[in-house]
Amino acid sequence: MASIENVLGRLTPEEHTELRNLGPQGHLPRHLLEAIDRAAGGPGAGRGYYVSTGNVSSTGGTLVVLRDDVSGWLFADESPDQPPQS
């Protein structure tokens, strides 16, 4: 598995901003899962960077969030009393 920094560094600025705007435990929409997969090397390659919450959406899809250490890396430069950077 590639490093978190390398994979997230391959996301577009817009994708990176959208992840940050979702917050540390925000549910990832399909297009961001596909972006993480692409950045990690192709379809399904990003599965180690996100995990299922164990819950499903109202349409029956699995809810997925960034893995704790990935989220920690993404939000490391923010203190709890600062809003997310855009």
pLDDT digits (tens, 9 = 90+) for 15-72: 999 999 999 999 999 999 999 999 999 999 999 999 999 999 899 999 999 999 999 9
- State the SS3 of 21-52: HHCCCCCCCHHHHHHHHHHHCCCCCCHHHEEE
Quote the pTM value: 0.82
pLDDT of residue 43: 93
pLDDT of residue 78: 58
Tokens read off for 28: 């990832």
